[in-house]
Amino acid sequence: MTELGGFQDKVARIDLSEEDVAYESIDDEDAKKYIGARGLGVKYVFDQGPEVDPLGPDNLLAFMNGPLSGTQVTMSGRIAVCTKSPLTGTVTDSHHGGWSGARLKWSGFDGLLFEGQADDPVYAVVEDGEVELRDASHLWGTGVHETRETIEEEVEGSYGKNLSIMAIGPGGENEVKYACIINEDDRASGRGGTGCVMGSKNLKAVVVKSSTKMPQPADPETFREGHQQAMQAIQESEVTAPNEGGLSMYGTNVLMNIGEEMDGLPTKNGKYTSTESMREAEGVDIDAERVSGENVRENILVDEPTCHSCPVACKKEVEVQTMHKGEELNVRTESYEYESAYALGPNSGHTDRDAVAVMIERCNDMGVDTIEAGNMMAMAMEMSDEGKLEEGDLEWGDTETMIDMIDRIARREDDLADLLAEGPRRVADRKEAHDNSLAVKGQTIAAYDPRCMKGMGIGYATSNRGACHLRGYTPAAEILGIPEKVDPYEYEGKGELTAQFQDLHAISDSFDICKFNAFAEGIEEYVTQYNGMTGRDVTEDELLEAGERVYNLERYYNNLVGFDGSDDSLPERFLEDGIRGQGASEGEYCELEEMKDEYYEYRGWVDGVVPDEKLEELGIDIGPGTGVSSESGTAVSSDD
């Protein structure tokens, strides 16, 4: 057990096969070494064994909050969902905001560990330190929004006041490899297929009903000092200060025009680096400004809700009235995010603002990742151009078909939808279409072109959960100048910079607080708030080492599965022999191999593999039956 402040010292282990719930304490040493949320969740998944089938009963699905979740700490409403990914085969963690992380803490839990597979659909109800399984057969096949409305009536709670519902839609039920978990209608644990794992377990929803029982800091004076320092930093930052034109004003989509202007917005499946270059090359009517945060705020914004303990309010709820196949659609959705708009808009060859809003709402209701859904359709469009899809074609910018395709994919309604539901790696393998895929380790890139933001290149390649901008958000330095401005086109130094960002974000993900904190706060504020809440007295270096430990544990897990440096790659079009940038970035490519050498040297890895010496240095237990051969650079097991 642990006596650290910020923890409830209680985890529920739910065996869905046996319909059994057991309760256990948090291991004190693990809590100190892995912090919480992402770190502890990955440790639970690691202990379950890397060789599990992602869609089998032995795979663990861990819902974890951290020691700062549900506290006075700003932006502390997040929760981590950790598991082995059916999309990539790697360990993955996917976070969402809102109130479920805080309410899980307030209901008496640090985490929920689901294993096994229910015979029939169920949903879990968490309240006052207890977990109950209820029948969900009547909910199977329904969208997330209807599921939320029905459950709200059944548990007699009040959505938005004392109730959070994390649910899957048809995408998860039908095991779409990039299905996600949707919280409170529109906040997604989007990446890695966490909803697919949930569907494989016949788990329709996790419902948390709680009063507000906010944890109090173990060292109030230290916590107060850290909290005041953090609040001042947030108020003074141009990015996070309320109503200062950054995230508070335009949400994450403040980046759309910025990405376009710096020629770093992947467009038409990454063929171009801006909508302007596509417009000039092909003479098409496309303009990123139409789907920008500024355009959204001026024309379709209706509300700006926020998550627990967040002064920024980056959510931008929109409402549109548009026509679809001769019928009027009235859609309201939260939120019109940058990554979603990029994948479902410019990267798919169009900038129809209202159609993007409709597609975001459809993805949320069906429970599929907006990034992966958009990029899969863009991949299919390029494959159609090259005659690689016997199952049917998709045309660039065909928004009517795209809207319908989201439902078709979620329900696997036809051959083309069934194919695209499998994700980019399986489609590429089956159709010999690797040249059309923007995936790394089976997960596609986000809205940052690695030809002009070199840090994102090494970041995508070395992310432990497949291509991801959130493992190490180097655009903070390359675009926003945080903590200091670096040249986005310069590759030297980006290996070290990326590793440092990765370790820092491993800390914030393990707290679990929003990454937007990092636009204002740094390790000093993190240490003071963490020490104040838990009662510990760690140094900045010790906390950074914990972040490094989390990242290395994830990499070690992937090594044991079979991943090594050869998997730290990028789509060919971003490399020297691929399609190069246009406009301001013309002639640029991503110098990946040079950055990998620097990155591995900084990490102390051997060709992407964590050697035994590094594991020992960080205090990561190898355990029986596992090991890594640093000579061969490959993972080995006790059977070899």
pLDDT, tens digit (0-9, with 9 covering 90-100), for 431-446: 999 999 999 999 999 9
CA distances to 77, 349, 446, 467 from 372, rounded to whole Å, are 25, 15, 9, 11
The per-residue pLDDT for range 11-21, each reduced to its tens digit, is 999 999 999 99
What is residue 587's predicted lDDT score, i.e. its pLDDT?
Answer: 85
Region 399-417: mean pLDDT is 98
User: For 79-102, b where at least 16 C-beta lie within 10 A, e where not — what string?
Assistant: bbbbbbbbbbbbbbbbbbbbbbbb
As a whole number of angstroms, the distance between CA 364 and CA 186 comes to 6
What is residue 638's predicted lDDT score, i.e. its pLDDT?
Answer: 27
Which helix (H) or strand (E) segment holds residue 361: the answer is: helix 353-366
CA distances to 136, 387, 413 from 538, rounded to whole Å, are 45, 59, 54
pLDDT at 630 > cutoff 50: no
What is residue 254's predicted lDDT score, i.e. its pLDDT?
Answer: 96
Say if 11-209 and 241-444 have the same CATH topology. Answer: no
Residue 476 token pair: 């903070």
What is residue 409's predicted lDDT score, i.e. its pLDDT?
Answer: 98
Q: Does domain 241-444 have CATH number 1.10.569.10?
A: yes
What is residue 584's predicted lDDT score, i.e. its pLDDT?
Answer: 65
Q: At 245, is the pLDDT very low, low, confident or very high (cuts 50, 70, 90)?
A: confident
Region 323-340: mean pLDDT is 94
Class of domain 11-209: alpha beta
Q: At 360, is the pLDDT very low, low, confident or very high (cuts 50, 70, 90)?
A: very high
What is residue 578's predicted lDDT score, i.e. its pLDDT?
Answer: 62
What is residue 639's predicted lDDT score, i.e. its pLDDT?
Answer: 30
What is residue 133's predicted lDDT score, i.e. its pLDDT?
Answer: 98
What is residue 515's predicted lDDT score, i.e. its pLDDT?
Answer: 92
pTM as predicted: 0.96
C-beta of residue 400 within 8 angstroms of C-beta of residue 325: yes
Termini Cα distance of the chain: 36
Angle, alpha carbons 603-577-379 (nearest 5°): 90
Contacts for 623 with CB less than 8 Å, ≥ 6 apart: none
C-beta of residue 122 within 8 angstroms of C-beta of residue 533: no
Residue 297 token pair: 């705020």
What is residue 633's predicted lDDT score, i.e. its pLDDT?
Answer: 39
Region 514-525: mean pLDDT is 94
As a whole number of angstroms, the distance between CA 600 and CA 495 comes to 8
The per-residue pLDDT for range 549-569, each reduced to its tens digit, is 999 999 999 999 999 999 999
For the chain, give every domain's residue range. 11-209, 241-444, 454-519+538-637
Q: At 632, is the pLDDT very low, low, confident or very high (cuts 50, 70, 90)?
A: very low
Q: Does domain 454-519+538-637 have CATH number 1.10.3720.10?
A: no
Q: Report the DSSP pairing between strands 11-15 and 111-115.
A: parallel
pLDDT at 580 > cutoff 70: no
CA distances to 5, 460, 468 from 446, rounded to whole Å, are 36, 9, 6
As a whole number of angstroms, the distance between CA 506 and CA 85 comes to 18
Q: Report the DSSP pairing between strands 163-167 and 111-115.
A: unpaired
pLDDT, the chain, mean: 94
Residue 546 token pair: 């914990």
Region 61-86: mean pLDDT is 97
What is residue 622's predicted lDDT score, i.e. its pLDDT?
Answer: 74
Three-state DSSP at 317 gives strand
Higher pLDDT among residues 581 and 17, named by residue: 17
CA 37 to mean position of chain CA atoms:
14
Higher pLDDT among residues 625 and 292, named by residue: 292
What is residue 315's predicted lDDT score, i.e. its pLDDT?
Answer: 93
Omega within 30 of 0 (cis) for the link into 512: yes
Residues for the chain: how many in total? 640
Contacts for 390 with CB less than 8 Å, ≥ 6 apart: none
What is residue 581's predicted lDDT score, i.e. its pLDDT?
Answer: 58
Omega within 30 of 0 (cis) for the link into 566: no
What is residue 631's predicted lDDT score, i.e. its pLDDT?
Answer: 39
As a whole number of angstroms, the distance between CA 640 and CA 631 comes to 15
